[in-house]
Amino acid sequence: MIITIDGPAGSGKSATAELLAQRLNIPHLDTGAMYRAVALKALQNGISEANPDQNRIAQLAEHIDLDFDWSTHPARILLDKCDVSNDIRKPEVTAIVHLPADNKIVRAELVRQQRLIAAHAGSLVTEGRDQGTLVFPDADYKFYLDADIKERTRRRLAELTDKGIAADPDALLADMQARDQRDKSRGVGALLLAGDAIVLDTTALTLPQVVDAMVKIIGSRKNG
Ligand code: DC
């Protein structure tokens, strides 16, 4: 059983996917973490906003040693055998992750790896931007999470505050708008609503409420 969850930044995909996967006792794949790992590798190799060498980024992605440790919840992501689960969340990685996300060769390689992971796992909750549209068009269940941009910004601010990182709310809102624009207008792998996806607006919902709604939908379709 493949369950895809797509949606914009801050819509609650990761937390929802993790909890849903736990409830169903199947693995959770965070595909954003894969783009972030390529961005981290790029940073380590001198790539920056000022030096956005897309050929080099493609080369790095094609030879990347990327793995997941599924023995923990959430799974840990390993780059060159090192656990980089925390490093990939750093602001400097977030700032340049659009470079690998915009690169067609990187996307082709990561899509290939995502399909391989699904083939090995058999059942998977996978989240990102293009999971239900491009990577798994035949998924059993497709969800699209959305939320008001002000609420998504508030959640991002709370996450950063939790980690002890100070942030300016206005700058975060502007950043969120820029990310939405990039995610929706990307030439390949853009954030689109699949025709057969179920849309859940999470603006006024708690995490357990969203997951309960999903479990109910999955249960009713299975039994129906
Ligand atoms: O979900 P996230 O913020 O961790 O994703 C990081 C970046 O990767 C984000 O800029 C969008 C991009 N991404 C993508 O293009 N396709 C995916 N399937 C997942 C993430």
Q: Catalogue the E-assigned strands of 20-168.
A: 28-30, 66-69, 76-79, 82-83, 124-128, 141-146
The CA 13 to ligand 1 mean position distance, Å, reads 11
The CA 130 to ligand 1 mean position distance, Å, reads 9
The CA 103 to ligand 1 mean position distance, Å, reads 12
Degrees (nearest 5) of the Cα angle 38, 42, 48?
130
In the chain, domain spans: 2-219
33 CA closest ligand 1 atom index: 4
Comparing C-alpha atoms, which of 137, 129, 87 is closest to residue 110?
A: 129
pLDDT at 43 over 60: yes
What pTM was estimated for this model as a whole?
Answer: 0.95
Q: Which of 6, 14, 31 to mutate to test ligand 1, by most ligand atoms within 8 A of the CB atom?
A: 31
> What pLDDT shows up at residue 164?
87
In one-letter notation, the amino acid at residue 3 is I
Mean of the pLDDT values across residues 59-81?
96
- Does domain 2-219 bear CATH number 3.50.50.60? no
What is the rounded distance in angstroms from the CA atom of residue 48 to the CA atom of residue 44? 10
What CA dihedral angle connects 180, 184, 189 and 195, to 10 degrees? 120
Comparing C-alpha atoms, which of 42, 38, 64 is closest to residue 53?
A: 42
Please tell me if the CB atom of residue 97 comes closer than 6 angstroms to any atom of ligand 1: yes
- CA 51 to chain centroid, in Å, comes to 25
Comparing C-alpha atoms, which of 41, 154, 35, 199 is closest to residue 103?
A: 35
What pLDDT digit, counting tens, does each position of 109-138 carry? 999 999 999 999 999 999 999 999 999 999
Please tell me if the CB atom of residue 31 comes closer than 6 angstroms to any atom of ligand 1: yes
The CA 62 to ligand 1 mean position distance, Å, reads 18
Please tell me if the CB atom of residue 175 comes closer than 6 angstroms to any atom of ligand 1: no
Q: Which of 6, 14, 34, 35 to mutate to test ligand 1, by most ligand atoms within 8 A of the CB atom?
A: 35
What pLDDT digit, counting tens, does each position of 190-210 carry? 999 999 999 999 999 999 999
Please tell me if the CB atom of residue 98 comes closer than 6 angstroms to any atom of ligand 1: yes
Cα–Cα distances in Å, from 46 out to 83, 132, 138, 220?
20, 33, 39, 51
Residue with tokens 């899509």: 111
Please give the structure tokens belonging to residue 193: 């609503």
Residue with tokens 């736990």: 22
CA atoms within 13 A on the CB side of 190: 10
Comparing C-alpha atoms, which of 147, 145, 141, 150 is closest to residue 129?
A: 145
> What pLDDT shows up at residue 222?
67
